[in-house]
Chain A
Amino acid sequence: MERLIYLDNAATTPLHPLALEAMMPYLTGSFGNPSATYRLAKQANDAVVRSRKTVASILGARPTEIVFTGAGTESINTAIKGVAFQQEKARAGNHIVTSQIEHHAILHACQYLERFGFDVTYLPVDRYGLVDPDDVARAMTDQTMLVSIMTANNEVGTIEPIFEIAAAVRERASSLKKRIPFHTDAVQAPNSLQMNFAEHDIDMLSLAAHKFRGPKGVGVLYICRGVPFLAQQNGGGQERQRRAGTENVAGIVGAAESLRITQESLDADRTRIAGLARRLRDGILHAIPNSTLNGHSEQRLANNVSISFDGADARDLLADLDDAGIACSAGAACGATTIEPSHVLLAMGVPLERAISTLRLSIGHETTAAGVDAVLTALPTIVERSRAKRAPDSSATAAG
């Protein structure tokens, strides 16, 4: 494909060639079903075991605490429902604490549970998108049986004080004299943070391989030993009875390999990516008047640049950028065909008008300085054109 400048790495990333290379044997010769007993099956099983160890060691967890799933969304649904339904059975409460800026996978899973009589508190955030650990602790009651706060926001890039939140949850739970698991949606984190989260009071964590140069169709769920959990996919005894179904061996191998590569070169890559993000952000804010950075200026994902352009419409911007060979997003890709104002920006107190003028540009491992500069060259005119078109006194009719 004739492509150009891809700045939507928060939506998905290209598969790392070494991850694909690691996967290929399991898409060809070593095709056995890991649950069978003969040698061919053992090769496949060994690959799953190795991959599980790799992921576990990166997360600071035990291999038995790692469950491979079919996607990040499945990991999140499984975590939320798996704990909620088990806690309900154990009469350990029916209340969940989460935040207003979570990914829809969390929000919709919580709404699903509300239909079954569960109670959910959606905590507000400050204007940077930060969740206050004290708010989390205060929201917890003797009915609370799960807390889930994302590690870093997918739209505005704000990194939450996740270890402080985990510690606050732990402390409040102990004063309530119960175990209240803390889950974090860390889907956006592996390109920016060291992922040894299991060493920090975090009980459950969800990842999606395709966000860190792994394949689509495979996710990771870390479940700390002892967390109350009811399997959400039933059938065979795979994944230690926590997720039935023949293992996606190639996908699992690809996920582990891409996580290993991403985490091993994290320091160098992060510095480079953050440098490019800084160049893009400063360049835009300098060149385009009435543009505003969303999220926290420092405590943010290395690769995320979220900027609003007052008076412009993100639909115009995306279309013109696409014509110019630049791919980015207005917010979460899941809602990109219909632009609704982002629930994240609204929760941060961004006015509706500004929210719909927002672009998310997310840098990747393959982004170059030349690519960033091409955006800096193209964007001012594109923003100006949209502003002219959308201006109240403009003769052009605003597109529906």
Chain B
Amino acid sequence: MADRRMYLDHAATTPTDPRVVAAMLPYLTTAWGNPSSIYAEAREARKGLDAARRTVAEALGAKPNEIVFTSGGTEADNLALRGVAMAARQRRDRVAAGDRESAAGDGHHIITTAVEHHAVLHECEALAKEGFRITYLPVDNEGFVDLDALRAALDDRTILVSIMYANNEVGVIEPIAEITRIVKAHNPHIAIHTDAVQAAGALDLSVDALGIDMLSIAAHKISGPKGVGALYVRGRTPFTAQIVGGSQERNRRAGTENVAGAVGLATALRLATDEREARNAHVGALRDRLLDELPRRIPDTIITGPIDRARRLPNSASFAFQHVEGEAVLLQLDLDGIAASSGSACTTASLEPSHVLTAMHVPESYLRGSLRLTLGASNTMSDVEALLEKLPPAVARIRALQPMAGRSA
């Protein structure tokens, strides 16, 4: 940015890579046809869409027909959960109607975790109101899901397990491959979904290595455009479309395709995959400096999320300050030209303490003092050094101005 504003909120959204915008532009200018039509312009659009689908499939080690483009990560998450849940309900209704062929019983149990993004949690709450039984697995102090609790939760009614690949607030990487082994050993027919919105770009997305059946991504988290995401759905996963009204996306998601958006997503994912090592090394060094220094320079500061840096997202540094309002820190940083977050952008306006930190049993006196710094390609070590200079006095000032209830002397 020209005015040297420092952007440290890449988990909220990322600047669109100019190469991505360049790839999208033809589909916003000349190749604007409706890909479902059959004449020449439409075929150009169809070609772009098909190529985008192949690119996304390749990054996931999937087949192109297993990729469903959506309007974003939230739609992808919602669609994964509801798509499987409604397929189970239809099976149950057929069984109730006496169709013995569709045996599978009355599956209605979904397992997820207490630290998922709201796109998963709130959809689960909606499904709970419709009669589905939801188990929210606990996590440990570092945010790792409790695998014994997972083993205990699996039963013969379980239809779906949805566990995020990496957490948006504290950067913890969940052991997805191990989780899928546990679930599939219990019953190979249980569908496993992972919200990979934060993991995309930073981590390997090979769906076979992970063993998952569904995976969600959002373009704008990996230097792509807003308004487009994708859901991977493994071949035989029982799945019912939710947005209906056209045969697009092989009947799994109706609506004229956002061709430019899909091309943008594919380009961003390809670049992220190609450049992953260099990008991770760059942001990883900056992250490590933050994780090393901030707790040293600011008293009563804890790192939230994993201590083992190999088990957290390379671009994510998250902290909690005792007896500080995180929002006050953010305001101060904004005045200093630094954009950061206390957790999830979607809940910034709410004054509730983070459900993720609560589930991790972060002590009460730290709960409102969270700060999430998420790095990207444009950040430099001198940015980080500047932050390390500015933040400690800012926190000290806020602590002095804001005597909070229950604060020790």
Q: Answer yes or no: B34 CB below 8 A from chain A CBs.
A: yes
Q: Distance (Å) between the CB of B149 and the closest chain A CB?
A: 24
Q: Answer yes or no: B125 CB below 8 A from chain A CBs.
A: yes
Indicate which residue in B38, B125, B220, B330 contacts A246 across the interface (CB closer than 8 Å): B220
In the complex, chain A residues whose CB is within 8 Å of the CB of B41: 1, 3, 6, 327
Known contacts A33-B12, A77-B244, A215-B28, A70 near B40 by CB under 8 Å: no
Q: Answer yes or no: B136 CB below 8 A from chain A CBs.
A: no
User: Do A245 and B16 have beta carbons less than 8 Å apart?
Assistant: no
Docked complex: A17-54 residues within 8 A CB-CB of B: 20, 23, 27-29, 31-33, 35-41
User: Do A40 and B71 have beta carbons less than 8 Å apart?
Assistant: no
Q: From A6, A235, A247, A334, name the one whose CB has the most chain B CB atoms within 10 angstroms.
A: A235
User: Do B74 and A233 have beta carbons less than 8 Å apart?
Assistant: yes
User: Do B13 and A216 have beta carbons less than 8 Å apart?
Assistant: no
Known contacts A215-B260, A249-B226, A38 near B339 by CB under 8 Å: yes
User: Do A216 and B226 have beta carbons less than 8 Å apart?
Assistant: no
How many contacting A-B pairs (Cβ < 8 A)?
A: 264
User: Do A28 and B21 have beta carbons less than 8 Å apart?
Assistant: yes
In the complex, chain A residues whose CB is within 8 Å of the CB of B71: 69-71, 74, 217, 245, 248
User: Do A38 and B334 have beta carbons less than 8 Å apart?
Assistant: yes
User: Do B126 and A234 have beta carbons less than 8 Å apart?
Assistant: yes
Mark the stretch among B137-145, B277-285, B343-351 that contacts chain A.
Answer: B343-351
In the complex, chain A residues whose CB is within 8 Å of the CB of B93: 115
Instruction: Please encode chain B, from 22 to 52, with 1 for each CB lying within 8 Å of some chain A CB and 0 for all others.
Output: 0010001111111011111110100000000
A29→B260 CA distance, assembly (Å): 18
User: Do A247 and B346 have beta carbons less than 8 Å apart?
Assistant: no
Q: Distance (Å) between the CB of B110 and the closest chain A CB?
A: 14
Known contacts A11-B37, A108-B254, A70 near B347 by CB under 8 Å: no
Indicate which residue in A40, A73, A250 contacts B339 across the interface (CB closer than 8 Å): A40
Q: Answer yes or no: A392 CB below 8 A from chain B CBs.
A: no
A325→B41 CA distance, assembly (Å): 10
Q: Distance (Å) between the CB of B58 and the closest chain A CB?
A: 22
In the complex, chain A residues whose CB is within 8 Å of the CB of B122: 234-235, 244
Indicate which residue in B34, B72, B119, B245 contacts A234 across the interface (CB closer than 8 Å): B119
Q: Answer yes or no: A210 CB below 8 A from chain B CBs.
A: yes
User: Do A12 and B226 have beta carbons less than 8 Å apart?
Assistant: no
In the complex, chain A residues whose CB is within 8 Å of the CB of B390: none
Q: Answer yes or no: A292 CB below 8 A from chain B CBs.
A: no
In the complex, chain A residues whose CB is within 8 Å of the CB of B349: 35, 237
Docked complex: A192-211 residues within 8 A CB-CB of B: 208, 210
User: Do A41 and B245 have beta carbons less than 8 Å apart?
Assistant: no
Q: Answer yes or no: A361 CB below 8 A from chain B CBs.
A: no
User: Do B123 and A234 have beta carbons less than 8 Å apart?
Assistant: yes
In the complex, chain A residues whose CB is within 8 Å of the CB of B348: 35-37
Indicate which residue in A20, A111, A217, A325 contacts B29 across the interface (CB closer than 8 Å): A20
Mark the stretch among B1-9, B207-215, B305-313 that contacts chain A.
Answer: B1-9
Name the residue on A nearest B118 (C-beta). Answer: A235
Q: Answer yes or no: B65 CB below 8 A from chain A CBs.
A: no
Q: Answer yes or no: B256 CB below 8 A from chain A CBs.
A: yes
Q: Answer yes or no: A288 CB below 8 A from chain B CBs.
A: no
Known contacts A8-B37, A217-B261, A334-B247, A33 near B227 by CB under 8 Å: no
Q: Answer yes or no: B243 CB below 8 A from chain A CBs.
A: yes
Q: Answer yes or no: A109 CB below 8 A from chain B CBs.
A: yes
Q: Distance (Å) between the CB of B237 and the closest chain A CB?
A: 19
Known contacts A36-B348, A235-B123, A111 near B244 by CB under 8 Å: yes
Q: Answer yes or no: A335 CB below 8 A from chain B CBs.
A: yes
Known contacts A31-B13, A38-B340, A246 near B118 by CB under 8 Å: no
A37→B246 CA distance, assembly (Å): 38
A17→B187 CA distance, assembly (Å): 54
Q: Answer yes or no: B78 CB below 8 A from chain A CBs.
A: yes
Name the residue on A nearest B330 (C-beta). Answer: A37
User: Do A29 and B255 have beta carbons less than 8 Å apart?
Assistant: no
A337→B38 CA distance, assembly (Å): 7
A115→B269 CA distance, assembly (Å): 37
Q: Answer yes or no: B369 CB below 8 A from chain A CBs.
A: no
Known contacts A35-B345, A35-B348, A72-B255, A336 near B38 by CB under 8 Å: yes
Q: Answer yes or no: B228 CB below 8 A from chain A CBs.
A: yes
Q: Distance (Å) between the CB of A358 and the closest chain B CB?
A: 15
Docked complex: A302-329 residues within 8 A CB-CB of B: 318, 321-322, 325-329
A236→B218 CA distance, assembly (Å): 14
Indicate which residue in B74, B90, B242, B245 contacts A244 across the interface (CB closer than 8 Å): B74
Known contacts A33-B345, A35-B345, A216-B261, A245 near B74 by CB under 8 Å: yes
A238→B14 CA distance, assembly (Å): 18
User: Do A246 and B226 have beta carbons less than 8 Å apart?
Assistant: yes
User: Do B256 and A107 have beta carbons less than 8 Å apart?
Assistant: no
Q: Answer yes or no: B64 CB below 8 A from chain A CBs.
A: no
User: Do B255 and A235 have beta carbons less than 8 Å apart?
Assistant: no
User: Do A216 and B74 have beta carbons less than 8 Å apart?
Assistant: no
A302→B275 CA distance, assembly (Å): 51
A234→B124 CA distance, assembly (Å): 9
Indicate which residue in A6, A73, A234, A327 contacts B254 across the interface (CB closer than 8 Å): A73
A12→B75 CA distance, assembly (Å): 23
Q: Answer yes or no: B252 CB below 8 A from chain A CBs.
A: no
Known contacts A15-B29, A333-B34, A250 near B225 by CB under 8 Å: yes
Q: Answer yes or no: B107 CB below 8 A from chain A CBs.
A: no
A247→B13 CA distance, assembly (Å): 11
Q: Answer yes or no: B259 CB below 8 A from chain A CBs.
A: yes
Q: Distance (Å) between the CB of A22 and the closest chain B CB?
A: 12
User: Do B245 and A246 have beta carbons less than 8 Å apart?
Assistant: no
For the A-B complex with A246-B345, A250-B226, A251-B261 known, give 19 more contacts whose Cβ atoms are closer than 8 Å: A15-B32, A28-B15, A29-B1, A33-B220, A36-B348, A39-B5, A77-B242, A108-B244, A215-B28, A215-B260, A216-B261, A217-B71, A234-B125, A235-B120, A236-B346, A246-B218, A246-B220, A251-B226, A334-B247
Instruction: Sort A-B residue pairs by CB-CB distance and give the 8 closest, nearest first.
Output: A70-B71, A248-B227, A217-B258, A236-B346, A105-B245, A235-B119, A73-B255, A245-B74
24 contacts between A and B (CB under 8 A): A1-B30, A11-B36, A12-B37, A35-B348, A36-B12, A40-B339, A69-B71, A70-B71, A70-B227, A72-B255, A74-B243, A77-B243, A77-B245, A111-B244, A235-B117, A236-B344, A237-B346, A245-B73, A245-B74, A246-B220, A246-B346, A247-B227, A248-B225, A333-B36
